[in-house]
Amino acid sequence: MGAMALVAAAIVFGLGALGAGIGNGLIVGRTVEGISRQPELRGTLQTTMFIGVALVEALPIISLVLAFIFFAKA
């Protein structure tokens, strides 16, 4: 039971961090692309980007909490 909980904690946190990294890369890349196409919308696009990044960053925080829960069961 203990080793499996540690493996589960590592997998949960690793996949959560991987998903957040991919999501942040896509959000920032599309924002830069949008700014390069329409520079006058820079402020609006940046605001939307920061909201999106904040929502994406909730994923690794949730996965960290789940990893701690699995780690506590080890």
User: For all residues of the chain together, what is the average pLDDT?
Assistant: 92
Q: 12 near 66, Cβ under 8 Å?
A: yes
Question: In this model, does residue 74 exceed pLDDT 90?
Answer: no
Q: What's residue 1's pLDDT?
A: 65
Q: Any idea which residue has 């999106």 for tokens?
A: 52
26: confidence class by pLDDT, cuts 50, 70, 90: very high
Which pLDDT tens digit goes with each residue over 2-19? Answer: 888 889 888 999 999 999
Distance, CA of 16 to chain centre:
7
Q: Percent of the chain beyond pLDDT 70?
A: 97
The arrangement of secondary structure in 3-73, i.e. its CATH architecture, is: Up-down Bundle (1.20)
